[in-house]
Structure 1
Amino acid sequence: MPKDRRVTIILAIVAIAIIAVMSIRPIPQDPAYHNFADRRVILNIANFYNVLSNIPFLVVGLMGMQLIASGRARGGLVELQIVYLMFFTGILLTGFGSAYYHYHPVNQTLLWDRLPMTIAFMALFTAILGEYISSKIALKLFVPLLMSGMASVLYWYIPELNGRGDLRAYALVQFLPVVLIPLILWLFNCPLKGSKYIWGVIGLYVLAKLMEFFDGEVFRGLGLISGHSLKHVFAALGAYVYYLALRKRTKV
């Protein structure tokens, strides 16, 4: 299939998704979202395990930033180093923001959980665009994608202060890349060997979302740890798999 046609397919899916999601009613923040299954206080730390389970984000974020800064990310493209650095910066900040939110889970702290996550989402999506489609196009889209990701959180948060929050744009930022990345891997070739790493990232992210969805069921089944805490661990593992990709992939 000609590359122009493949790019058109991607753009058409983006357009359809935006029109479809923004044509439905605004999605407010469910107040019950903050009612996590595991709310134990340990060592005077509220929601102890949901807070503590963010440490892997800090570790992987620092590891990734050090890898890029040292010039050892030979499993990536030279021109995308700033994108890789921003991804791991987003992962590091997610560790701080998520821990802050889970210590006192309300909408005001949720803002600082979601903002860094969108940095990581958009940086990873930009990296995949650059690796599989065009690094030049990816770099041109990098800042607009980052801004759109952060804007989607503010689009929810600012009206939420007056009880009219809308999560539609944030839902697009969070879930559209999960649909597009597998399609990009299928339609395009990468100059780097090791698509298995990207599939691993996707698989672990899906597993993390399942843990989040079944938060209470996992907690009741395991007793020691909740689904939401495991969500943090699996999401951080996904970032670690991409760290491995940047270390171990080789040119085709």
Structure 2
Amino acid sequence: MTMCFIRQQRTFDIVFYSVAILFLITFYWGLPLYSQPEHYHQFSGDEMILGIPNFMNVASNIFYILAGLIGLYRVQYRKVTLSKSRWRTFFIALIFVGFGSSYYHLSPSTHTLFWDRLPMSIGFALLSANFLAERYPACKSKATLLLLLGFSIYSVLHWHLGELMELGDLRLYAITQFATIALIAIILIFKPQNRLLDRPYWILLVGYTIAKICEMLDPMIFALSHQLLGGHVIKHIISGIALILFIPSPRTFFHSYHDILKK
């Protein structure tokens, strides 16, 4: 029974990741070259307050910085499933996301956007690497972590250097961001673990989804709020709060099917 179960799991994993890789290749080659549209830098309610340009979009990034600081504190005093250094690096990346996004919103342009997306890509890579490492022993290696980090950083450099030559290409960066979210969502739905292990990622997934919807409805939300807050500002707040609520799973309660089979 045990060997049969292991073979079924391995077969499922091979099929799952083969389909995922095929999908990513199809996504990349199926879409045309896509550069950064200039209208992206136009956000609702960008006004100078207290001498700070685009104050609301700049100030709302404090939620990312708080998420990083709170996460570092929690990791320091908790027994987590993975090494503390991996989670510390993730929360440090969140702090840089806050500073990078603030810098971008002070003077929104395609060139300043690089400093927003670089720490974001690192954060997505660390999150997906840690998520996979919690569930699959083979993904705990530094090779998996470095592979995801390398691809994510390259995706941003590829886009940014392309923009400098008027050949900007967002396809790889789109894979970095949306493939991470899709991967987490699919595994949570089709291969759930226990409640304590999955719940933090569900919080991030729901928060991310709501935040992206708010971002897409930026001017509409600004109008509905009587020009108080734009959708992009609310995106910062909601995604930041989701990250503040995110707590790495405690080691005491971690049981993957690999652990169960050993008993």
Q: Tell me, in whole angstroms, the C-alpha distance in 2 between the residues paired with 1:247 and 1:238.
A: 18
Partner-residue secondary structure (3-state), 2:111: helix
Q: Which residue of 2 aligns with 1:180?
A: 183
From 74, 78, 92, give the equivalent of 1:73: 78
Matched, 1:19 2:25: yes
The two structures have a TM-score, normalised by structure 2, of 0.87
Which sits farther off after the overlay, 141-150 or 18-27? 18-27
Question: Residue type matched to 2:127 in 1?
Answer: L
Partner-residue secondary structure (3-state), 2:213: helix
Q: Tell me, in whole angstroms, the C-alpha distance in 1 between the residues paired with 2:175 and 2:161.
A: 18
Q: Which residue of 2 aligns with 1:160?
A: 163
Distance 1:131 1:46, change over 3 A: same
CA contact (8 A) 1:130 1:139 kept: no
Which sits farther off after the overlay, 10-19 or 204-213? 10-19
Q: Deviations over 1:7-54 (max 9, x none)?
A: 223322331232122212111100100011121111111111000000
CA contact (8 A) 2:215 2:232 kept: yes
Task: Kindly state the Cα deviation for residue 236 of structure 1 after the two structures are TM-superposed.
Answer: 1.1
Q: Which residue of 1 aligns with 2:216?
A: 213
CA contact (8 A) 2:129 2:139 kept: no
Map 1:98-177; keep pairs closer than 5 Å. Answer: 98-134=101-137, 136-137=139-140, 139-177=142-180
From 52, 56, 62, give the equivalent of 1:55: 62
Task: Kindly state the Cα deviation for residue 107 of structure 1 after the two structures are TM-superposed.
Answer: 1.2
Task: Kindly state the Cα deviation for residue 189 of structure 1 after the two structures are TM-superposed.
Answer: 5.0
Task: Kindly state the Cα deviation for residue 188 of structure 1 after the two structures are TM-superposed.
Answer: 3.4
Matched, 1:33 2:40: yes
Q: Deviations over 1:134-170 (max 9, x none)?
A: 2654543001111111110011000101211000000
The two structures have a TM-score, normalised by structure 1, of 0.91
Task: Kindly state the Cα deviation for residue 66 of structure 1 after the two structures are TM-superposed.
Answer: 2.7
Distance 1:141 1:241, change over 3 A: same
Task: Kindly state the Cα deviation for residue 241 of structure 1 after the two structures are TM-superposed.
Answer: 2.4
CA contact (8 A) 1:98 1:112 kept: yes
Q: Deviations over 1:176-217 (max 9, x none)?
A: 111111222234354773422211110001111111111111
CA contact (8 A) 2:214 2:232 kept: yes
Map 1:76-87; keep pairs closer than 5 Å. Answer: 76-77=80-81, 79-87=82-90
Q: Tell me, in whole angstroms, the C-alpha distance in 2 between the residues paired with 1:40 and 1:241.
A: 30
Q: Tell me, in whole angstroms, the C-alpha distance in 2 between the residues paired with 1:185 and 1:29.
A: 32
Q: Which has the higher Rg, Structure 1 or Structure 2?
A: 2
- Note the residue ranges of structure 2 that are not aligned, 5 or more in a row: 256-263
Distance 1:241 1:44, change over 3 A: same
Question: Residue type matched to 1:132 in 2?
Answer: R
Matched, 1:227 2:234: no
CA contact (8 A) 1:127 1:138 kept: no
Distance 1:102 1:4, change over 3 A: same
Root-mean-square deviation (Å)? 2.0
Q: Which residue of 2 aligns with 1:45?
A: 52
Q: Tell me, in whole angstroms, the C-alpha distance in 1 between the residues paired with 2:154 and 2:193.
A: 30
Question: Residue type matched to 2:10 in 1?
Answer: D
Partner-residue secondary structure (3-state), 2:246: helix
CA contact (8 A) 1:219 1:227 kept: yes
